[in-house]
Structure 1
């Protein structure tokens, strides 16, 4: 698969609500039509923090569905969002990283979203304000949506500039891409799989097989070792075990990483110290260590007191925080705590449920009673073969949980899924940022 075969661009079409429901992209099933919002003397101000798949979708659809009945401000420190979806193709130099950069000009210029390029450092839930990075400037809100993505639980000795996770952010992707491009013949690569829950469950296993194939094709004769926190590959184990056998990948389950040595600027001295199944400490020296550390909610969730343990509990009918005293604050995407998978399309779908619920409740209605989120995943598992899978979650009023109601997957990886994968990704990018 060459770079020239990959075409990614945001559609210029503005998606109507009916088109969205027909498309199946981030499907919000069962919407029966919003009650017309009453006229407000003071137009409510909804602040959205974080411009990824969850935050950008929420800001966009608040204006599409709410129109002039709401003012929407998106707070995001970066000029562009770098998509983790399809990022595995950047790591193996099959796709230019620039093709996964998405700006906010259509959200501001077409949809009327206000954009503040800054970082939120504090939330005053009683005063309904957020504080910006200077520690002084504040923005007031009537409703607040937080979509900060994920953060990582630190590992002793970990310098992310030398041992990249490459699981979010443009710089991390480029760092790992360059390390693999410079990989020495006969070298050792270690990939660390985090404990569940983490963003994109098949992702680390896909990275291991695609990178092993990439190094094999480029005659690197690499030793690829997967250190998995799980007792077994957590998704499509038979397929990944077969790929690892084909490419000579060493798979080790039940791993707890104790510490790492990030090495010097030239990459010398890198190593990982770990225990397998509670056994004695072992050390592996490696040329490249892709340390995908265990996940937790974004830092603003902890700073705002919205977390229970590592995640933010929410009401899945609205995505409003269930922490006492945190009313009118909503959490989307990877940071929220539900049974749903963490990933970009999940955040996109959750954003529409949240927006629908906010507009309904502001109009004096109840939230929609049985929301559904559908989430697909499509990615390379070798240099040329693509795999895909999808699930749907439906709200169960008896348990109060989002529960899996349907699922499907490719019978086996194949080259024929390349164009469907790119179409799926393009549709999601357009629906979020277009």
Structure 2
């Protein structure tokens, strides 16, 4: 990995289990009322297979090796990912506006292999046999056994009629999509129209689409003063820090419309011409139920950033781990609650708890999951009051940065994670720039270092 101008790889943070618990970033109290599980026979190492090398998967693989040594357990950890590097969506807005080179957000898995002794497989999992406890790789014949399977495959998108992602990018997941959106903005015509579609909740990084719209509007205001920027939001109104973003949109002349449902898109020709997005505006009652809709309206645009509605990754559906669009899990362990899917744990964007979907959330969930599994393997019970911290910091203009943070705590009465603390920056500020880079640095180093 090349050295970064924002110094992302100098230090490699390592949390001890004790430090993780004491800081409140993880689990605070012991579980009562559960019988201890029997210690598994350990003539051979416990086989841990992790699928997906993002913030959840990489963190899980790393901390299995770190914390197993603290526990005196022998674990063999294999991380499977189709890519040689992970391309971070965190700070990707700076790539779109050409403030940061895309390769600065590429993170290899070399330290997981060389420092932490994680086995790496650059491959894809195409099938999961939950009864036989094996995964099948992309050649269709190679299988890998597991004692515990950790799935952190990210998200997929609900399709829209006419949507060709090679012409209308979401730019929300994956290096190629981010590069495509960046290039389209670099080629943006004088006086052109840019449309951004905000997905329906839940989706990855709640403030992210609003941040992207304001930063792109600021960027185009400098590069292309006659550009038109339109936000089509599935929510009735801006879902997070509404006043802040409405003020920014007013400043930059962004046109904002809520309660939007996209009907279809025209992805245009190979030269990028003829793109359009057709939508209706939904009418909802006080409880949010749809009671009517407008007639269809169509906007012709030069660049459409269609961030589609989210669902769990395809592998979750193929393995029968979903209930609706997400994978239900026990938030004490992140083990699937689907009958017959024991010993499979789902982290990050695909899991179905109320916790927001974000990189730091996946990183924290991984530590909760690893700690719980190691305790089970040691014949103990998982802790009963897990806490997950979720931070987010990103530019909202070319010079100003915003931040938000939430803490989620397990409620033993509802058996769910519930938000009990939420804080936001008083206002976007240039003073938040360095703290944002430090926050990102720490998260990157902790996950991949």
Show structure 1 runs of 4+ deviating over 4 A: none
Q: TM-score, normalised by structure 1?
A: 0.95
Deviations 1:152-208 (A, max 9, x none): 001111111110000010111111111111111110000000000000000000000
Equivalent residue, structure 2, for 1:11 = 10
Q: CA deviation at 1:21?
A: 3.2
Q: Is 1:70–2:75 an aligned residue pair?
A: yes
Distance 1:5 1:237 in 2: 34
SS of 1:241's equivalent? helix
Kept in 2: contact 1:43–1:71 (CA 8 A):
yes
Q: CA deviation at 1:83?
A: 0.2
Distance 1:39 1:417 in 2: 51
Deviations 1:387-426 (A, max 9, x none): 0010000100001111112121110000000000000000
Q: CA deviation at 1:10?
A: 1.6
Alignment counterpart, residue 166 of structure 2, candidates 161, 172, 182:
161
Distance 2:155 2:315 in 1: 10
Equivalent residue, structure 2, for 1:30 = 28
Equivalent residue, structure 2, for 1:329 = 344
Equivalent residue, structure 2, for 1:271 = 276
Distance 1:29 1:368 in 2: 6
Kept in 1: contact 2:389–2:408 (CA 8 A):
yes
Distance 1:18 1:124 in 2: 32
Equivalent residue, structure 2, for 1:293 = 308
Distance 2:267 2:368 in 1: 42
Kept in 2: contact 1:184–1:220 (CA 8 A):
no
Equivalent residue, structure 1, for 2:436 = 421
Q: TM-score, normalised by structure 2?
A: 0.92
Trace 1:15-414 onto structure 2 (pairs within 5 A).
15-17=14-16, 21=20, 27-30=25-28, 40-67=42-69, 69-277=74-282, 278-414=293-429
C-alpha spacing 1:195/1:160, structure 2 compared with 1 (3 Å): same
Moved more, 38-47 or 203-212: 38-47
Q: CA deviation at 1:217?
A: 1.2
SS of 1:337's equivalent? coil
Distance 2:164 2:314 in 1: 18
Q: CA deviation at 1:322?
A: 0.2
Kept in 1: contact 2:27–2:368 (CA 8 A):
no
Q: CA deviation at 1:266?
A: 1.2
Q: CA deviation at 1:5?
A: 11
Distance 2:100 2:21 in 1: 30
Kept in 2: contact 1:39–1:69 (CA 8 A):
no
Q: Which runs of 5+ in 2 are unaligned?
A: 31-36, 283-292
Distance 1:247 1:6 in 2: 29
SS of 2:333's equivalent? coil
Q: Which runs of 5+ in 1 are unaligned?
A: none
C-alpha spacing 1:331/1:204, structure 2 compared with 1 (3 Å): same
Q: CA deviation at 1:38?
A: 8.1
Distance 1:110 1:44 in 2: 20
Q: CA deviation at 1:221?
A: 1.6
Q: CA deviation at 1:12?
A: 3.9
Distance 2:193 2:28 in 1: 50
C-alpha spacing 1:227/1:109, structure 2 compared with 1 (3 Å): same
Distance 1:29 1:411 in 2: 29
Q: CA deviation at 1:8?
A: 3.2
Kept in 2: contact 1:187–1:220 (CA 8 A):
no
Q: CA deviation at 1:269?
A: 0.3
Kept in 1: contact 2:27–2:384 (CA 8 A):
no
Q: CA deviation at 1:39?
A: 7.4
Kept in 1: contact 2:196–2:231 (CA 8 A):
yes
C-alpha spacing 1:99/1:19, structure 2 compared with 1 (3 Å): farther
C-alpha spacing 1:268/1:353, structure 2 compared with 1 (3 Å): same
SS of 2:433's equivalent? helix
* Total equivalences in the alignment: 427
Q: CA deviation at 1:229?
A: 0.5
C-alpha spacing 1:12/1:389, structure 2 compared with 1 (3 Å): closer
Kept in 1: contact 2:17–2:67 (CA 8 A):
no
Deviations 1:209-237 (A, max 9, x none): 00000000113421100000111110000
Q: CA RMSD in A?
A: 1.9
